Amino acid sequence: MPTELSDLDIAIRDGDRAAFASIADRHRRELQVHCYRMVGSLHDAEDMVQETFLRAWTSRSSYEGRSSFRAWLYRIATNSCLDLIRKRRRVVPFDPQSGERAEVSWLEPFPDSMLPAHDDPAAATVAKETIELAYIASIQHLPPRQRAVLLLRDAIGWSAKETAELLETSVASVNSALQRARETLGKQVEDREERTSSWQPTAEERRLLDRFMKATEQADMSAMAEVLKEDAVFWMPPDPEVFVGRDLIVESWTPFLTGPARIGDFKMVPTRCNNQLAAANYVRAPGEETYERLALDVLRIENGQIAEIVTFPESLFDDFGLPERI
């Protein structure tokens, strides 16, 4: 007795591109997260998802159903990302001896609104792994295949056998690559289970964000110093310069907020990305009536203080649905 054809079988048989795209689109959000982790850039990740769907459609006749359609899409997405990483040479050399932060010039934030919904089965792929900026930046140091193995094993939760099949290699090679990747990243990988997609800011963390925004709006550098850890870090991709230490950060900001280089009055709008609190900066230049987009600050909080601020350009505001001016 013949078995009933699935919607996917029918779409492939009939060459129904719209139906095929609709089925593939069910996996869009989790594939965006996977590609983002691989390449570190939101916009490149979106391009890779589109490339994945295009490659899937073009090679649809090769899908034989021996693995799930989802796994087949992950195979295509991973290989698309590996191609991009190699083409653009997007691996940051890792030097564990220096302890210095290396530049990840292509790093971009990932809006929380684009994460899989909590009732989406794909949410588990985020809950098992951190998507915080510090982690995303760190894994850009890994060689491409090590990065893929780490994410497939630890983030997606695939077995060594499944990962080996996807990457067309041996289980031994997968286990070796995973060990090397974990050794490179060290404790940051060990702590991954503590930060999940279900994370919600505490009342204390929300108050800290409010204090940070108020200190910026009021150009109160003493209040700003109070919310920063003594060894806080500030950087602005793609600028390679990194400011380490509360005093240096406050000193570098003071001229733009209160000194002769002051650029105007600030207005801050709270938002979220990478499971972190963030604030959008708007500035009103002297003599102007409206506040214009300036920059996006993403905060990492430790023990009631801000441990890191990563600032991104205003060109990313549209991805967060932020207004052009206020």
Asked if 245 and 156 sit in the same domain, the reply is no
Asked if 256 and 279 sit in the same domain, the reply is yes
Q: Tell me: the pLDDT tens digits for 66-120?
A: 788 999 999 999 999 999 999 987 766 655 444 444 578 899 999 999 988 777 7
**Residue 124 DSSP label:** H
Which of these three, 154, 173, 194, is where a domain ends? 194
pLDDT score of 302 = 93
- In Å, what is the CA distance from 4 to each residue of 1, 66, 292? 9, 17, 58
Asked if 34 and 181 sit in the same domain, the reply is yes
Asked if 46 and 182 sit in the same domain, the reply is yes
Residue 23 in tokens? 């089925």
pLDDT score of 65 = 77
Asked if 187 and 276 sit in the same domain, the reply is no
Enclosing domain of residue 22: 7-194
What is the length of the chain? 326
Asked if 171 and 260 sit in the same domain, the reply is no
Of 131, 147, 127, which Cα lies nearest the Cα of 139? 147
Mean pLDDT calculated for residue range 135-154? 93
Give dist(CA 42, CA 38) in Å, integer: 10
Residues 6+ apart with CB under 8 A from 51: 80
Amino acid at residue number 212: F
Cross-sheet strand order for the sheet of 276-284: 242-244, 228-235, 305-313, 292-302, 276-284, 265-273
Which of these three, 166, 194, 222, is where a domain ends? 194
pTM reported for the whole predicted model: 0.89
Asked if 73 and 107 sit in the same domain, the reply is yes
CATH number, domain with residue 59: 1.20.140.160
pLDDT score of 127 = 56
Given a cut of 50, is residue 137 above it in pLDDT?
Answer: yes
Given a cut of 60, is residue 166 above it in pLDDT?
Answer: yes
- Structurally, the chain folds into a number of domains equal to 2
Of 136, 33, 29, which Cα lies nearest the Cα of 90? 136
Q: Tell me: the pLDDT tens digits for 218-229?
A: 999 999 999 999
Asked if 136 and 181 sit in the same domain, the reply is yes
